[in-house]
Amino acid sequence: MFKKLGKGLKFVDFCSGIGAGRLGLELLGLTCVAHSEINEYSDYTYKVFYNDNNNLGDLTTLEYDQIPDSDILIAGFPCQTFSIVGKRAGFDDVRGQIIYHLKNILVNKNIPYFIFENVKGLVNHNKGKTLNDIVELLNNAGYSVAYKVLNSVDYGVPQLRERVYFVGIRKDLYTKPFIFPSPIQQVDIKDFLLPSNNDILDINHPTFQKYLSNNYNKDRVNINKILGQEYTIVDTRQSDLRVYVNKCPTLRAGRHGILYVLNGQLHKLSGLEALLLQGFPKEYVKKAINIPDSRLLSQTGNAMTVNVIRAIGKCLLEYIENNLKNELGMKHQYI
C-alpha cells in the first residue's frame, strides 16, 4: 500500500549530500524531481548513485520558479553550526541561516509536507532557544511541526547516531499529531563489514604505539585483550581510545579512525563499509568502488541514515493515507 501511494508523490532533496534522504524516500516509491547541493564532491557521488544531473545548486540564490512542484521537501540542513564539535555559532553562522531559506521555499511553493534532519546538539543549543525559534519559524509559516531525537541503531543499522528529525505538516492538512516510528530489533555488525587484507592496521607502528601510551590511554587500554574480542569496534578518538561491542560509534565527517577486530587484527573501517552503516544497500556500495576512501568516509559522516528516513517516510505516508481515507469518507456522506 505504501509503495503504491508513494508512487503518486514527488519530493525535492535539498542540502542533499550524497542522497541518503533521497534513497530513504525512493525505497517507499516516491519520486525525486530535483536536488540541491553546493559541494561538488558530494554531488559527484550523488550522480554516481542516481545518474541525476538536475542539481539546482545553491538554494539561497534560487528563484522559486526554478524549483519543481513537489509534495515533500526533505533537507539535512547544515549542522556544523549547531554541533558540539563545531563552534556552535547557531544563527550567527551563515550555515545556520539556511533554515530561513528552506522556510521561504516551503511557503512560496506551498509544499504540503517536509522532513528535516540535524544534529542532536541542536536540541539544547543556546539552552533550547534555537530549537524553539526554528519550530516557531515553521509554525508561523503555516506548518504543524513534530520533532524527536532518534538513534540510527534502533532502525536496522549498527551505528550509534543520534539526530533530531522534524516532520512538518501544512496546517490545512493537519488532522492529528504525527507519531515517529518505533524502534526495531537491532542487528549484527558483522553483516555490515567488508574486511580486506589491505585495510589492516599495524599495531606495532610507532605512531599507534605512541597513541596507546599517551596520558589518556596508558594503563587503561589493553590492546591484546581487545584483539581477542571478535568484531569489537575501536574508536581512535583524538586523545582517548574507546571500545564498543557490536555497535559503531557515530560516523564523523571531519575525523576518521574507526577500527574493528577480526581474526586478532585491527581493520580500518572503509568508506564502503561506512555506506553500509548508513543504510545504503550493497548495489549502491558497488557503484562507489572507485570513489576515494577518505572522501566517502567524510561524505557518509555528513549523510542521513537511509533506514531512519525510510521509517519516518513510511509513517508520513500512513498519515497521508489516513487523511485521504477521511476525505473520501466525508465526501461519501454527502453523496
Sheet containing 241-245: order of strands: 241-245, 232-236, 258-262, 265-268
DSSP 17: T
- Report the alpha-carbon distance of residue 191 to residue 183 in Å, rounded: 19
Indicate the pTM of the whole model: 0.91
Q: How far apart are CA 261 and CA 328, in angstroms?
A: 56
Among candidate residues 15, 32, 79, 248, the one labeled active-site is 79
Helix (H) or strand (E) holding 319: helix 306-333
Identify the sign of the CA torsion 113, 327, 23, 188. positive
What ranges do the domains of the chain cover? 2-184+303-333, 189-298
The answer to whether the CB of 3 falls within 8 A of the CB of 286 is: no
> Cα–Cα distance between 22 and 66 in angstroms, integer?
19
- Tell me, what's the pLDDT at 83? 45
> Tell me, what amino acid is at 157?
V
Backbone angles phi, psi at 178, to 5 degrees: -80, 135
pLDDT at 97: 80
For residue 242, the 8-state DSSP code is E
Query: Quick check: is 79 catalytic?
Result: yes
Joined together, the cell numbers standing for residue 158 give 549498527
Tell me how far CA of residue 40 lies from CA of 50, 146, 147, in angstroms.
15, 32, 30
C-alpha closest to that of 300 among 98, 41, 88, 63: 41
Half-sphere exposure of 2 (CA within 13 A, CB side): 15
For residue 1, the model assigns a pLDDT of 46
pLDDT, residue 78, reads: 78
Q: Helix, strand, or coil here: 85?
A: coil
User: Is the separation of the CB atoms in 90 and 82 below 8 Å?
Assistant: yes
**Distance between CA 92 and CA 79 in Å, rounded?**
13
Which stretches of the chain score pLDDT less than 50?
1-2, 82-86, 88-91, 331-335
Distance, in Å, from the CA atom of 30 to the CA atom of 9, rounded to the nearest integer, reads: 5
The span from the CA of 175 to the CA of 172, in Å, is 8
Instruction: Give the torsion sign (CA, 114, 277, 95, 235).
Output: positive
Rounded distance between C-alpha atoms, residue 2 and residue 190, angstroms? 30
- For the domain spanning 2-184+303-333, the CATH number is 3.40.50.150
pLDDT digits (tens, 9 = 90+) for 187-231: 999 999 999 988 999 999 999 999 999 999 999 999 999 999 999
What pLDDT is stored for residue 253 in this prediction? 87
Asked if residue 24 lies in contact with residue 306, where contact means CB atoms within 8 angstroms, the answer is: yes
DSSP H helical ranges for 51-156: 98-109, 129-140
CB-CB contact of 165 with 116 (8 Å):
yes
